[in-house]
Amino acid sequence: MACSIQISMNVLSFSRSTQGTQPRVVTKIAPCAKPATNWAARLVLLCTGWLVAGTVVCAQQPPEGPMDPPAEHRVARIGNTSDPGEPPTLPVDEVLKRLSKQEDTYFLARAHYTYRKTIRIQEFGPDGKPSGEYLMVTQPSRDADGTIFDKVIEHPKSTLQHMQLESEDFENLNRVPQFPLTTAQLTKYSMKYLGKDQLDEINCYIFEVKPKVVERVHAYFQGIVYIDDKYLEVVKTYGSWVNDLGDMKSSPQVPFTMFETYREFIDNQYWFPTYARSDEILHLKEQDVPVRMIIKWTDYKPLAAPQPANVGTPAAPPPAAAPAGAPTATPSSVPPAAAPSAPAKPPQQFH
């Protein structure tokens, strides 16, 4: 007597799409009413097992059920998720309030530091190897009246084949603030919590940052910030500076707009930027050339105090009467632009 065979195929679906994980087909074989007693029934069972890659189970053995799905492979898509996961342990408003106070501290402290800033731009050939390079090294210095300026300590050297650059092409880049989320600027942004991630050994909150209003004369940061979930400090940013015309460029010759910037703990008290990178494509008539910019800030040291005025010269005004561009300026006195329109630019925006 032949057995009646019932085959069902169940496709396991996962709650979140994953890469490299294929749905599994699970085959169930209903138990026979009686053991097969002829070769024809056995042959039917055997052929069916080959076709569906299942396992034929005899009536005396329990049928095998679906196995547990494998461990989920987590794929994060920043800015493309509707489920941010668990919210921060503190209210979001409190996280941002504490964050902005930290940014105020670092904003003011960095004005009293000097460092070596290395700007490197590379062009890449069809083989993926660098085919040309531009290198310039500067260092913030202070003159006798306390004004901070960028001093070129290694004059530009270039072997670039497709880009003709001058030091003036980086003036706007030098004015980009490295601390966009100070208390004075925070109210000009919309902050959306996206979730948590780990950066090296630091657990981070991730926020999407967008300006509430864009203007022609002022540029604002737009992108992603990684915030240490314990100390509420920015450790990484990824984004661009925008106005109502779109992404800002340092100059028409410099195509870089999106920068990934990392910070490090300096002097055991300040999170200062130390590395930034941007990759773009230079579109030419004959070809498209991959290009890359890397900026490194190294050798952070406190700036030397300004030299005292010479005897017989008028005394300098007290700090309280100093112009808004002096190093003692607070973040609230700084225009919200990467390229402020006021002639006297705060030294903090020169970096």
Task: Find tokens 């010759």 and name the residue.
Answer: 253
**What pLDDT, on the 0 to 100 scale, is given for residue 207?**
97
What is the structure's pLDDT at 155?
A: 84
Which residues is 26 bridged to in the sheet?
A: 10
Question: Three-class SS of residue 169?
Answer: helix
As a residue count, the chain comes to: 351
In angstroms, rounded to a whole number, what is the distance separating the alpha carbons of residues 80 and 77?
5
pTM above 0.85, yes or no: no
In a structure prediction context, what are the per-residue pLDDT tens digits for the chain, which is 351 residues long? 444 444 343 433 333 333 444 444 333 444 444 444 454 555 545 545 554 444 434 344 444 433 443 333 333 334 444 456 677 888 999 999 999 999 999 999 999 999 999 999 999 999 999 999 999 999 988 787 878 788 889 888 999 999 988 877 787 777 788 999 999 999 999 999 999 999 988 999 999 999 999 988 889 999 999 999 999 999 999 999 998 888 888 777 788 999 999 999 999 999 999 999 999 999 988 899 999 999 999 999 998 766 665 544 445 444 444 434 333 333 333 333 333 333 333 333 333
What ranges do the domains of the chain cover? Answer: 1-67, 92-308+325-350
- The answer to whether the beta carbons of residues 79 and 193 sit under 8 Å apart is no
Please report the pLDDT score of residue 285 as a whole number.
87
H helix and E strand count, the chain: 4, 13
Q: Cα dist. 260→200, 225, 263, 284, 299 in Å? A: 15, 10, 10, 25, 20
Residues 6+ apart with CB under 8 A from 39: none
The pLDDT assigned to 146 comes to 75
Task: Quote the pLDDT of residue 300.
Answer: 96
Torsions phi, psi of 136, nearest 5?
Answer: -140, 140
Q: What is the pLDDT of residue 77?
A: 35
Beta bridge partners of 207: 193, 225
User: In angstroms, rounded to a whole number, what is the distance separating the alpha carbons of residues 180 and 189?
Assistant: 10
How much is the pLDDT for 173? 78
Contacts 24+ apart (CB under 8 A), 239-244: 239/209, 241/176, 241/338, 242/211, 242/214, 243/214, 243/215, 243/216, 243/217, 243/218, 243/219, 244/214, 244/215, 244/216
Q: How far is CA 238 from CA 182, 256, 260, 350, in A?
A: 17, 13, 4, 19
SS3 of residue 227 by DSSP: strand
- Could you tell me if 297 and 116 are in contact, meaning their C-beta atoms sit under 8 angstroms apart? yes
